[in-house]
Amino acid sequence: MKKIGLFGGTFDPVHHGHLAVGRAALRQLGLDTLYLIPASSPPHKSDQLITPFFHRMAMLRLAVQGEPRFVVSDIEGQRSGPSYTIDTLSQFRQNLGPEADFFFIIGLDAFADITTWKKYQELLNRTSFVVIDRPSHGCRTVNEVVSKCFPAYEQEEKGIWGCEGSQRIYALEMEPVPVSSSMIRDRLRRGEAIDDLIPAVVVDYLQCNRLFPAAKKKGREN
Q: Would you tell me which residues interact with ligand ATP (CB under 6 A)?
A: 9-12, 17-18, 21, 106-107, 109-110, 132, 134, 177, 179-182
CB-based contact 159:125 (threshold 8 Å): no
Closer Cβ to ligand ATP, 176 or 191, answer by number: 176
Q: How far is the CB of 176 from ligand ATP (least distance, A)?
A: 6
Q: How far is the CB of 121 from ligand ATP (least distance, A)?
A: 19
Q: How far is the CB of 216 from ligand ATP (least distance, A)?
A: 23
91, 93, 82, 89: which is closest to 106 by C-alpha? 89
Buried b (16+ CB within 10 A) or exposed e, 32-54: ebbbbbbbbbbeeeeeeebbebe
Q: How far is the CB of 204 from ligand ATP (least distance, A)?
A: 20
Closer Cβ to ligand ATP, 106 or 123, answer by number: 106
Largest CA distance in the chain: 70
Residue type, 62: L
Among all residues, whose Cβ is closest to ligand ATP? 107
Closer Cβ to ligand ATP, 101 or 109, answer by number: 109
Q: How far is the CB of 93 from ligand ATP (least distance, A)?
A: 21
Element (H, E) at 126: helix 120-126
**β pairing state of 128-132 and 169-172:** parallel
